[in-house]
Amino acid sequence: MPLSHTSRFSEPTEQQYASLGRAVVEWANVEQLLGTLLSRLLATPDFLARTYTASMSAVRMQAAITEAVEIHVHRYRYRLISKGRLEEIIKINNDVTSLRKKRNKIAHFCWSRQNDEVMFGTNFPSGVRSKKNDRGYATLTHAELSNLNAEAHALVERLLTVLPDLPEISEESILPPRSGNDLD
C-alpha cells in the first residue's frame, strides 16, 4: 500500500501536493522545450521534429543536443549559431542534467507527509540493503521543493530566451504551394 494512504496523518498537505504537482508541470515544460531546442539545432521544423522527440527520453534528447552542438562547433564552425549561444546551450543542458536527477526522485518515489514541512519518500527498494539501494529513501522539505520548482521555472525561462535566437525552419518554407487537389 502506498505510504500516503496508510493514515490521514501520512497524506501530504494540500501545499505539499501542489508543490509536487508544480514540479511535474515544470519538468513537462523542460522536456517540451528540449524537443524544440533539438529541432532547431537539427534545422527541422518544430512540428516535424516531434516525430522523433516525442518518443525520446530527456536523457536521450540531451545526448542528441550535445552531439548537435558539437556538429555546429566542429563542422559548421559557428556559421549557423554563435559560439556564445552554443555555450549557453551547453550550460542549460548541464543544468537540465542536475534538475533531471532531482525530478526523477520526485516523480518515481512514493511520498508521504512526515510533518507539515517535511515529506518522506521511498521507491520501495528490494533485496538486501546495500549502498546501491540506500538511495531508495529520501526526505524533502517544503523549502527544498520550492527551490527545485524555482530552479525548474528559471530553466524554462532560459530555454525560452535561447530559442528565438536559433534558426527556425518553418513548415511553409519547405513545402511547395498548395494545389486545389491537396487533402487536409
Q: What pLDDT sits at residue 78?
A: 97
Q: Mean pLDDT for each consecutive 10-residue tract of the chain (184 residues)?
A: 63 92 94 96 93 93 98 97 97 96 89 92 71 73 94 97 94 81 62
pTM, entire model? 0.84
The dihedral region occupied by 57, where left means phi > 0, alpha psi between -120 and 50, and beta the remainder, is beta
DSSP-based three-state secondary structure for 11: coil
Q: What pLDDT sits at residue 1?
A: 46
Find cell 563542422 and name the residue.
75
User: Do the Cβ atoms of 53 and 39 come closer than 8 Å?
Assistant: yes
Give the per-residue SS3 of 40-89: HHCCCCHHHHHHHHCCCCHHHHHHHHHHHHHHHHHCCCCCCCCHHHHHHH
Of 112, 130, 128, 132, give the one whose Cα is nearest residue 120: 112
